[in-house]
Amino acid sequence: MAANQSQGPKLKVGLTGASGNIATTLREGLGDEVDFTCFLYEECGLEGQIVDLSDSAQVAGAFEGLDVVIHLAAQIAASTPWEGILQNNIEATYNVFEECRRAGVKKVIFASTNHTQHGEFMDGSPMKTDPAKCRHRARLSDLPAPDSLYGVSKLFGENLGKYYSLTYGLQFVGLRIGWTEQADDPRAAEGTDQEFHMSVLFLSKRDCVEAFRKALETDRDYVLGYAVSNNRNGIFDLRETAEKLGFIPQDSADF
């Protein structure tokens, strides 16, 4: 499955959370290569279908005719209380997978997070990293170490992906994303108590686009990867991602 198929029609790719930060980066970076259908939570001036993904009745039929769904919609704050996590990250994610299965979508690309493994590196808060705990780099094969209910909800999504891959043959790519913002500037946290955290997790927009491009291209049944730039202070071992997904980041937080 190639993102930029030179012959034949473009891949039809559903984008949940389509008005959000990462979706904006992907619409700008991949919009010429694939045919996006946007799914929106509310009216925002963008063309798309308004669906509360936590409501299975609203999701029913939404993904008909799509090849791939990139599932970005979620409550993204690591401090989100359980009720929000349950509704928007767990129930909504189940509804997305179930509709993909029903509609015959071939692949789900799931926005997972560094927070699935950041627990062993954190400095009292999921949004801070302790330099003294960063003497090793975690691997994808390590046991999870979530730092929040948010991190736990993303492990749920990864495991749901494994289950749907094994049981229904739905291809799954889970990207454990670092920290990416529209400003695209690792210096944005300079002088704040998140400066080190940013230097560990920075993901440039260019690397973000490339990680999702590789996720669109892979033919693996189930694969996890890190979507993080090549940061000197990085806490993740990027070799398996390079081997299995072919994603090699070009940028870094170092300046």
Ligand X SMILES: NC(=O)c1ccc[n+]([C@@H]2O[C@H](COP(=O)([O-])OP(=O)(O)OC[C@H]3O[C@@H](n4cnc5c(N)ncnc54)[C@H](O)[C@@H]3O)[C@@H](O)[C@H]2O)c1
Per CB under 6 A, which of residues 116..135 are in contact with ligand X?
none
Per CB under 6 A, which of residues 132..161 are in contact with ligand X?
none
Question: Which position among 15, 34, 38, 111 is part of the footprint of ligand X (CB under 6 A)?
Answer: 111
Mark whether 150 is an active-site residue: yes
Residue 231 to residue 200: CA distance in whole angstroms? 6
The reply on whether position 88 binds ligand X by CB under 6 A is yes
The reply on whether position 21 binds ligand X by CB under 6 A is yes
SS3 179: strand
Alpha-helix runs per DSSP H in the chain: 21-30, 56-59, 82-85, 92-103, 149-168, 195-201, 205-217, 239-245
Find the shortest distance in angstroms from Cβ 175 to ligand X. Answer: 8
Residue 229 to residue 206: CA distance in whole angstroms? 9
What phi and psi values does residue 98 have, to the nearest 5 degrees? -65, -40
Please compute Rg for the chain using Cα positions. Answer: 17
Residue 174 to residue 223: CA distance in whole angstroms? 6
Find the shortest distance in angstroms from Cβ 9 to ligand X. Answer: 27
The reply on whether position 235 binds ligand X by CB under 6 A is no
Question: Which position among 11, 14, 15, 20 is part of the footprint of ligand X (CB under 6 A)?
Answer: 20
120 contact partners, CB below 8 Å, separation of at least 6: 133, 138, 145
Per CB under 6 A, which of residues 166..205 are in contact with ligand X?
177, 179-180
Find the shortest distance in angstroms from Cβ 194 to ligand X. Answer: 12
With contacts defined by CB under 6 A, name the span among 70-78, 124-132, 139-147, 191-199 that binds ligand X.
70-78
What residue ranges bind ligand X (CB under 6 A)? 17, 19-23, 41, 52-54, 72-76, 88, 92, 111, 113, 177, 179-180
Q: Which positions are annotated as active-site residues? A: 150
